[in-house]
Each structure stands twice: as C-alpha cells, then as structure tokens.
A and B are shown apart, each in its own frame.
Chain A
Amino acid sequence: MELLLAAVHRVAFWILLAFFASAVIRLILMLDINKRVYNHTPGPCRIVFDEDGKDVDGSAGIHFVRGRNLALITYGYANAFENGSVPSGLASFEFKKGEEQTHHRLKKLDISWNEHVPKHFAPLGLTAFENNGRVLTYVVNSHPKAQCVHFFTLVKSSLQHRKALCDSRFTSLRDIAAVDADRFFVTNLGYFSQGHLQTVELALQSSLGLIYFYDGRNFSVAVSNFPTPSALAIDEKKRLLYVSSLLNEFVRVYEIGRDNTLKQKVDISLLASPVGLHVDYATGDLWAACHPVLLQAFIHQMNPSDKAMKSPSQVLRVRIQEDGISWVVTEPYANDGATISGSNAVTFAADQMLVGSLFERLLHCDILNPQIT
C-alpha cells in the first residue's frame, strides 16, 4: 500500500511538472519577448490634438459613424487603473479632405447625464447604430467598480445620456458592437475582474471569456468559453460578427442569424494580439489594432501615467477573399511606441486612418496606396 502511494505520488509529481513546464513555455511564447516592430507608415501622419492643442488623455475606443462621416472616440480609460482621475468622456473627429485635414482637431463632446455624473467612468469600447436619423451610441465603462454599458444619443455636437445597464456578471467588459437599435454584443475578457487574479488567469491562458447579447431587455450569453475576447466589429452587409482573441491571437468570424444567434465560421490567425477591430463598409476589409509585444503592453497598461513605459503599436488589415475562407493580411502601420504607444483602436475612411492608443495620443494618417499598403 505504501509502495503504491509512493508510485502514485511520483507519477503525480511528474504530471504536475509536465503541466507546469508546458504552462511556462506557453507563457514565454505568449509574451513576445523576441518580437519587435520596425517603424513604417502608409503615408504622411500627424498627431490629432484637442481643441486646446493638447494631446488627448487616451483614445482607446474608436467607432466610425458612416452617416455623419465622423469618428467617435473614447478617452480617459486610464481611470480603470489608478486611484487618480483623468478627464474621461467622448470626442468626435470629422473626416475631411485635402489640406483642411492636416490641422483638424478633436472635438470633446458635452454629455448631458441622465442622473448624476458617474463617479468611476473609464470608457473603453464603443459602438453606434444609426436609426431614423438618430445616432444611438453605446459605451462600455471598464472601470472595475462600475462595469456598465452606457446608452447615449448623439445630438448635434453633444451626447444625451439615456441609461446605464450594470450587471453583477460583468467582470471585465471590453468592447461592444450593435446590430440594431438597443441590440448589441458585448465582450467580457475573463472570469476575474482586473487585478492579480485576472493576471494569473490570463497567464494560464484560460478560455473563460464570454460574449453577451442584449436583446433590448436582458443580457444573455451568446458565446461561452471564448479565449480572452477583446474586440468586436460587425460587417453590416454580410451580417458577420468578428470577435478577436487577445491572447490566442486570432479573429473568429461568426454569422449573425435572423434571431441574432451566432454561427461560427472561421478563425483568422494573426500572431499579434488584436485589441480593436473595424470593418470598412465599402470593401469589407477588416482592420485590427494590435499589441505586437504583449509583455510591453502589459507593463504599459499597469503604469498608465508613466510616459516612459512605451508599448509598440501595430495596425493590420485583413482582406478577405470572395470565397470567405481565405484572406491576405497586410500591415499598414507599425511604431515602436515613440509616436503612438499601445495602439488600441483603428478606423479607416476616405483613404485616411485613425489609430487610437490606450492612454495617450490619437494618430491620423493618409493612406497613399490603399490597394497595397
């Protein structure tokens, strides 16, 4: 009996050791220690300043409102990480042509709050749905103490707050995508809320992420056990939902059924950690903002106010072929962090590109050769 127990202990020891070694290897590969990016741009670029000529306090979420030819940008995501507070809210950027564009500024939007101004507002992902001339805007608040989805209506140059929906099941909301008025998908990155437990969960590369669907009244689980879902984007024409995996570094394509159920189609492997997605309405191209070196992104995210903690930025474009199951990936933009640090969002319109970062600048680029860049 004692011999049997000793044998079981020995076998268990080696099995645990094998699991531990495997976890260590996967963790080291995940951190991208041997990767870097080399700077390049698709054309002339410039920083977008606010109306006072200053850098914005982050531009972590961008959504292009096609009917208005403008982009909505969230700022102030750093509130989710530190006790101090930075100004947070939404801003708009109007796409123009020619010389007029190079000096264009970001306009911060006034918000008429439905009740009181929320104490913890760290906006991250956002989406908008254009409905009968109204722009219904949905914003994810990623603050660990106030995980909510906020409903706004864009009225001229200001936002009317409609309501906030919070749920105890929300632990790490990231991004949101609307399929109809008050119908949207939202991603929950992992089981644990932001903190040490989440770090351990992510280090072990668990698959406890969820995608919720809101049907106008209730949140239900649309996809369970998704590995670290980070960003969402919807192809309106083809009724496709794109969901990116932060740590497994792919984009999964779902078909949206008539009742808004999701049918999995294909995975697009990127080998870069996608954090922001955009679908170009005209071409159907998928644009992804990525963290090319995950370790630096993690360190940068843990120190939002330290300007020396730079993280590389990367924008990829996936051109899906007619068959829907093959694609070409190009890299329109990459930067080592000196210009824009920790790219988190991207949008493309009128041969121009906006790249948003977690806590800092917003970048605007002309794309000289859209077919090849």
Chain B
Amino acid sequence: MLWQVVGLVVVAIAVNFYVNTLFFLDYNKRVFNHRPGPCRRIEGIENGSEDIEFVESKKLAFITSGLVYFPNPHAKYDGKIFLYDFKQGDGKYQAKDLKFVGMENEDFHPHGLSHFILKDGTIRLFVTSHSKQFKHSVYLFDFDESKQQLKLVQIIRDEKFVRPNDIAAFRGRIVPSHYQCGSVVKYDGKKVEVVAAPEASNGIIFSRDFKKFFVSHINHRTVAIYDWDQKKKTLILQTKVPLLTAIDNFYIDKNNVLWIGSHPILKDAVAHLDAPDDLKFKAPSQVLRIQFSSDFKSHDITEVFVDDGNFIAASSVAVEHNNQLLIGSVGRQLVHCDIAHPAVANSKL
C-alpha cells in the first residue's frame, strides 16, 4: 500500500513535470500567418537584425547584425550596424552598412542597442556585444552623419556584465539587462549596481518621459513595468503583464505605445538560435502592440504581424513609424511592412 502511494506521487510529479515542459516549450502551439499590409525583405541583411534603435528626431534607425548568441568560435559572419533611413522615397527600402572608426582589432558581434543625443546634436549609440569567445562588452559610438560612419568612443567591461542582452540609455548612462542569472544593472560611469530582482531579462526600454521602465521576463512570458526613480536611479516594480509568448525586444513610440518582437513557439526558437546559419531550422515571428492606460493598470494588445518563419525567422524587435513597420530578427532577415489601415494595427473590433 505504501509503495502504491509512493508510486502515485512519483507518477503525479512526472506528469506535472512533463506537462509543464510541454507548455514551456509551446509544443501544442502553432502560428497562423498574417500581415498588416504588403511586406518585403530588406536586401543585404542576412545574418540578423536583432535590435533596432529608432532616432525619431532624424527618422533614422540603427540595426545590429551578426549576433553571436552562444559561444561560436567558428562564426563566419561579421558584426555590423546598419542604418535604415525612414525618409527614403517611396518604393525604396535600403539599409546601409556603416563603417567603423577605431575598431580595427575588435571581435565585435552587437546585440542590444540604445541611443542618446549629445548637447551638440551628435547621436551616441550604446551597444552590448559578445565576442566569438563570448566575452561581453558595452561599446559607445558616436554617429558621424556627414560621413555616415560610427566612431568608437569607449569600451566598458565589468564583471557584473554577465551575458548582457539589451541596453537602455538614460541621460548618457546605461542600463544593460542580463539574460543569464537574469538581472538589470545600471552603470553610471563609475560603478555597476544591480537594480532589478533576479529573473531572466531580455529587452528593456524607458518610457518616453523616463518615468517608466519596461523589462521583458522571457521565461515567465511577462512584461514587467517599473517606476524609475530618476534621482536615486532605482526601479520599483509596478505591475506585470502576462503575454504567454516569449518576449524579446521593445520599442516605445511617441504615444508611449509598446511594440514587441517575440517568439510565440519557444521550442522552434531554441532550435533555430542554436544554429542560426542552418536554414533547415526556422522559428515563428510575432509583433505585438500594447497600448497602456495612463495609469498602466489596463492595456490593449494587438498582434500586428505573425509569420511561421519562412519569410522572417525569430523576430526580436519591431519599430513603427508613419504606418511603416520595421521588423528585425535574431539571426536572419530584416522586414519592412506597410500598415494598410489604422484598424489593422490597433484593433478595437
């Protein structure tokens, strides 16, 4: 009798673990393609467009490419930063591969991206990067608009940068997030401090008024919204939004609407990210749009774009401007879509 009870308990634990694993990996999910309007791939970007940073005052988007997601000594692609100009004429969809100044011997594979505009109008970029040996750094670049190149300003390395993922700039300071042993740390130019509770963190971004801070907790499928104390530089958790999808990077538009690149089926994303060069592995892409109430207590979610991976694999970020949508992926294509009608991207019915 005792053995039967023990057996029942063991079986119950095994069933629970099995079901939880199936749910975590999204085994019973699939995606169904839909687009907000006509879409096309941007030529010249084939090894990823993991993060996009949109500089609204100049209508420019910076795109990181060539990510090394796991230690990959044999990676055949270079790390790059592309520039997409939203002011391009109708029918033009080109991304420019920017030259670097001062990066001769760097093993550079950029990941997360953020920007700050200096007093003289220069765009300063903050970039998290991993080398092929998987060393982690934060690079600071100034963008020379006339020469269309990026000048290296500073490289920051710290033992608390444990596999940094994304980065958010606050008045020239940086707040990189970490995926492994997840946390959010802040760096004020002198020291590094942990400012958010340990939980795997992916994309991070400030609200436009720098009062809120958004963190994607990818393993729990939630977006956490923090109050940002601008004087003490600390985060206070306000609310969590469960999304039931693996959230990657964020973009905040001028109406404080949150745009999210996510991975709706985690098992496919894991298989794809383990071998991004192998075209046999595809992972679905998803773009969500979340509009919060002013007190952030309620929200409306719209799914603007979904693809099964054939057109764009493993989307990680989406930026909207003027009814144009730029969708980046972890290791593959960059896609541009037209939003054919406001109702398509802001569903009330």
CA distance in complex: A29, B344 (Å): 31
Min CB distance A44 to B, Å, is: 5
Tell me which residues from 8 to 48 in chain A have a Cβ below 8 Å from any Cβ of chain B: 13-14, 17, 21, 24-25, 28-29, 32-47
Taking a contact as CB atoms under 8 Å apart, the answer to whether B37 and A369 are in contact is yes
Are B302 and A17 touching (Cβ within 8 A)?
Answer: no
Chain B residue at minimum C-beta to C-beta distance from A28 = B19
Binding stretch for chain A, among B21-29, B53-61, B66-74, B223-231: B21-29
Chain A residues near B39 (CB-CB < 8 A) = 372
Q: Hey, what's the 0/1 contact readout for B309-349 against A, CB within 8 Å counting as 1? A: 00000000000000000000000000000001101100111
Q: Choose from A36, A38, A42, A272 the contact partner of B302 (Cβ within 8 Å).
A: A38
Proximity string of chain A (63-106) to chain B, C-beta cutoff 8 Å, 1 when within and 0 when not: 00000000000000000000000000000000000000000000
CB–CB B34/A43 < 8 A: no
- Chain A nearest CB from B222 CB (Å) reads 13
Q: A13-B4, A369-B340 are in contact. Are A36 and B28 (CB under 8 A)?
A: no
- Partner of B349 from the list A21, A332, A363, A372 (CB cut-off 8 Å) is A363
* Chain A CB within 8 A of B189 CB: no
Closest partner residue, chain B, to A30 (CB atom): B28
Contact (A368, B340) CB under 8 Å given A21-B11, A25-B15, A40-B303: yes
Q: Indicate if the CB atoms of A46 and B349 lie closer than 8 Å.
A: yes
What DSSP secondary structure best describes chain B's contact surface? mixed
B-chain residues with CB within 8 Å of residue A279 when the two chains form the complex: none
If A34-B23, A47-B349 touch, whether A17 touches B7 (CB-CB below 8 Å) is: yes
Partner of A43, one of B15, B32, B343: B343
B303 with A29: CB separation less than 8 A? no
Q: How long is the Cα–Cα vector from A47 to B348 in the complex, in angstroms?
A: 11
Contact in complex: A35, B15 (CB < 8 Å): no
What is the distance, in angstroms, from A321's C-beta to the closest C-beta of chain B?
A: 14
Interface size (A, Cβ < 8 Å)? 43
Contact call B303/A25, Cβ cutoff below 8 A: no
Cβ A40 vs Cβ B340 within 8 A: no
B192 within 8 A of A: no
B33 CB-CB contact with A under 8 Å: yes
Interface residues of B in 61-87 (CB under 8 A from A): none
B244 touches A339 (CB 8 A): no
Docked complex Cα distance between A273 and B158 (Å): 51
Contact B347 A40 (CB under 8 A): yes
B35:A372 contact, CB within 8 angstroms: yes
Interface: B121 (CB within 8 A): no
Q: Which residue of B lies closest to A20 (CB)?
A: B11
Shortest CB distance A245–B (Å): 15
CA distance A28 to B300 in the complex (A): 28
What 0/1 pattern do residues 258 to 270 of A give for CB contact below 8 A with B? 0000000000001
Q: Considering the chains assembled together, what is the distance between the CA atoms of A294 and B99 in angstroms?
A: 53
* A35 & B244 in contact (Cβ 8 Å cutoff): yes
Indicate whether A334 reaches chain B with its CB closer than 8 angstroms: yes
B264 closest partner in A (C-beta): A38
Q: Which residues of B have CB within 8 Å of A28? A: 19
Cα A40 to Cα B30 with chains together (Å): 17
* A328 proximal to B (CB < 8 A): yes
Total A-B contacts with CB atoms under 8 angstroms apart: 105
**Please, how many angstroms separate the alpha-carbon atoms of A339 and B343 in the complex?**
14
Instruction: Tally B residues with Cβ within 8 Å of A.
Output: 40
**Are B15's CB and A331's CB within 8 A?**
no
Report the minimal beta-carbon distance from A348 to chain B, rounded to whole angstroms.
15
Distance between Cα atoms of A17 and B14 in the complex (Å): 12
Q: Given A13-B4, A36-B244, does the pair A331, B34 have CB atoms closer than 8 Å?
A: yes
> Is the beta-carbon distance between B347 and A33 smaller than 8 angstroms?
no
When distances are taken between beta carbons in the complex, the residues of chain A under 8 Å from B286 are 38
Q: Is the CB of B33 within 8 A of A29?
A: no
Contact B29 A331 (CB under 8 A): no
Residues of B within 8 A of A365 (CB): 349
Known contacts A29-B28, A35-B29, A39-B300, A373 near B34 by CB under 8 Å: yes
Q: Does A335 contact B (CB under 8 A)?
A: yes
The smallest C-beta distance from A225 to any residue of chain B, in angstroms, reads: 24
Cα distance A198–B91 when bound, in Å? 57
Interfacial chain A residues near B34, Cβ < 8 Å: 40, 42, 330-332, 372-373
Identify the closest chain A residue to B290 (Cβ). Answer: A38
Contact A39 B301 (CB under 8 A): yes
Give the complex CA separation of A270 and B30 in angstroms: 8
B241 proximal to A (CB < 8 A):
no
Q: B38 an interface residue at 8 Å Cβ cutoff?
A: yes
- The answer to the question of A154 belonging to the interface, with a C-beta cut-off of 8 Å to chain B, is no
Q: Does B306 contact A (CB under 8 A)?
A: yes
Q: Does B304 belong to the interface (CB within 8 Å)?
A: yes
Shortest beta-carbon distance, A366 to chain B, in Å?
8
The answer to whether the Cβ of B210 comes within 8 Å of any Cβ in the partner chain is: no
Q: What residue in chain A is nearest B28 (Cβ atoms)?
A: A29
Interface residues of A in 232-286 (CB under 8 A from B): 270-272
A25 and B37 form a contact (CB under 8 A): no
Interface string of A345-373 (1 = CB under 8 A from B): 00000000000000000010100110011
A17 contacts B347, CB within 8 Å?
no
B8 close to A38 (CB less than 8 A):
no
B23: nearest chain-A partner, CB-CB: A34
> Beyond A21-B14, A40-B304, A41-B343: 9 further Cβ-contacts under 8 Å?
A13-B4, A35-B29, A40-B347, A42-B34, A43-B341, A45-B349, A331-B33, A368-B340, A372-B37
- Between-chain CB contacts (< 8 Å), 14 pairs: A17-B8, A28-B19, A29-B27, A33-B23, A34-B29, A35-B29, A41-B349, A42-B344, A271-B28, A330-B33, A331-B306, A335-B347, A339-B349, A368-B341
- B interface with A by C-beta (< 8 Å): 4, 7-8, 11, 14-15, 18-19, 22-23, 26-39, 244, 286, 288, 300-304, 306, 340-341, 343-344, 347-349
Interface residues, chain A, CB within 8 Å of chain B? 13-14, 17, 21, 24-25, 28-29, 32-47, 270-272, 316, 328-332, 334-336, 339, 363, 365, 368-369, 372-373
- Closest 10 pairs between A and B when the two form their complex, measured CB to CB: A38-B303, A331-B32, A45-B349, A39-B347, A271-B30, A34-B23, A44-B343, A330-B33, A40-B303, A368-B340
